[in-house]
Amino acid sequence: MKHILLILMTAFLLTSCGEEKKNSVEKVLESNNLETIRAKRAELVNDQEAIHAKIKQLDEKIATLDTTKNVPLITTFKASHEQFNHMLELQGNVTTKNLLVITPEYNGILTNVYVKEGQKVSKGQTLARIDDGGLGQQLAQLQIQADLAKTTYERQKRLWDQKIGSEIQFLQAKSSYESQVEAVNQLKQQIAKTVVKAPFSGTIDDVITEQGSVVAAGQTQLMRIVNLEDMYIETEVPERYVADVKVGKSVQVDFPVLGKTIDTKVRQASDVINPTNRTFKVEVGIPNKEKSIKPNLTARLKINDYTNEKALLVPQSIVSENADGEQYVYVVTDKNNEGEGTAKRVIIKTGKTQGDVIEVLEGIEDGAEMIKEGARSVKDGQTVKVLTIESENDGQK
């Protein structure tokens, strides 16, 4: 009985396969019979509709049995007020008013140089001396004449006080004495120019002219002196910031070469706009106790030009723009206990940017739950599931 059933099933399958092969698309196309081809197409269309109906039934059943909904997974953060300091980034060079190349005030031979490179000196200290060309001898002669004129004047004065002698003799003696004193003072001033003194306390950075050289007043460079204590950075600020960058504003100074950052303030802001490049100069004082900061060193400045004590900051990466040029973000509303809510598009007005965050001026309230990860893929009104609520700082990174 089993053998007979097996034979019948085999025969049925062979008959079906033969019939299917007979009615295959290839065979129908080979027949070149229009009616047969049309009939085969209609048959396939009917089969396709039936398959689509069955797939639809299966999808409906899957949706009924599957408890996990296919909703976008997102992360959010809550907007909150905080202080926002906007920084204007500029570049400047370190300089100092106590950097000077000393030149002589007198022509002659540099007879003595009393300092060497790297030596610390005090204000008024003698650094070098120039041959006075005989002015010292002239001063000695004038001093003798001045002493004689003084003695004559004093005697005439005593006589005049006793009503002895004429007034003209007294006045002549007085005039002669005063003239001699003036001549002595003038010559002393000339001789003083032969002595080169330190204009301020500092360090001799370079001795340029050697002892024995002939020097010319106001032309020959003798030595360079520098003081690294009173250092500052000078930079040029665009005129549009003239109302924001003022004396006392906080400044962060970064020295890339030194790997050093210091906090300081604006100590001077020019009241004049340069008509050539429409900028004004700003000076930023630099504490330099370690003497590591040198003149002409390049520095990067971050000047605080704007502060908002209660700012709402969001990452720039979550802000999008529509066809009308309006900026918008997504917030989560109507969230249930399972973390599911609705994505709502909110038009915002933004302010200044700093790094990767931007200030929101209008459109977002304090405490609003904003979408971070997934903000670019959700749609307005779409159901979303919140995975995590990041902290305020994480939301702004």
- How is the chain split into domains, by residue range? 22-62, 73-84+309-395, 89-97+226-307, 100-224
- Find out whether 37 and 31 touch, Cβ atoms under 8 Å: yes
- Angle at CA of residue 208, ends 204 and 210, nearest 5°: 110
Angle at 90 between CA 253 and CA 249, to 5 degrees: 60
**pTM, rounded to two decimals:** 0.58
Q: Which DSSP letter does residue 117 get?
A: T
Kind and range of the H or E element at 197?
strand 195-197
**CATH fold for domain 73-84+309-395:** 2.40.420
Other Cβ atoms closer than 10 A to 337: 5
State residue 397's pLDDT score: 40
Would you state the pLDDT for residue 362?
92
Interhelix angle for 167-192 vs 135-161, to 10°?
Answer: 160
Q: Residue 121: enclosing H or E segment and its boundaries?
A: strand 120-121
Report the pLDDT value the prediction gives residue 38, as an integer from 0 to 100.
85
Tens of pLDDT, residue by residue, the chain (397 residues): 434 434 434 444 444 444 444 467 787 787 788 888 888 888 888 888 888 888 878 767 766 665 555 678 889 998 888 899 999 999 999 998 888 999 999 999 999 999 999 999 999 999 999 998 888 888 888 889 888 988 988 888 888 888 887 888 888 888 988 898 998 898 888 888 999 999 999 899 999 999 999 999 989 999 999 988 888 999 999 999 999 999 999 999 999 999 999 999 999 999 999 999 999 999 999 988 888 888 889 999 999 999 999 999 999 999 999 988 999 999 999 888 888 889 999 999 999 998 889 999 999 988 899 999 988 888 898 888 888 877 655 444 4
Query: Which CATH number does the domain 100-224 belong to among 3.40.1390.20, 2.60.120.200, 2.40.50.100, 1.10.357.10?
Result: 2.40.50.100
Which residues are bridge partners to 47 per DSSP? none
Q: Given this model, what pLDDT does residue 247 score?
A: 92
The two counts, helices (H) then strands (E), for the chain are: 6, 21
Rounded CA separation 98/205 (Å):
12
CA angle (39, 43, 48) in 5-degree steps: 145
Q: Are 284 and 251 in contact (CB under 8 A)?
A: yes
**pLDDT, position 71:** 79
> Same CATH fold, 100-224 and 89-97+226-307?
no
The predicted structure's pLDDT at residue 349:
94
User: What dihedral do alpha carbons 161, 162, 163, 166 form, nearest 10°?
Assistant: -70
The contacts of residue 225 (CB under 8 Å, 6+ apart) are 98, 99, 100, 102, 121, 198, 199, 200, 202, 203, 204, 205
From the list 93, 95, 98, the residue with the least C-alpha distance to 226 is 98
The CA distance from 12 to 277, in Å, is 97
Fold of 89-97+226-307: Elongation Factor Tu (Ef-tu); domain 3 (2.40.30)
Which two three-digit tokens encode residue 330? 């997504």
DSSP-based three-state secondary structure for 82: strand
| φ, ψ dihedrals at 121, nearest 5° | -130, 160
| Alpha helices (H) along 92-202 | 135-161, 167-192
- State the pLDDT at residue 245: 92
Predicted pLDDT at 2 = 38
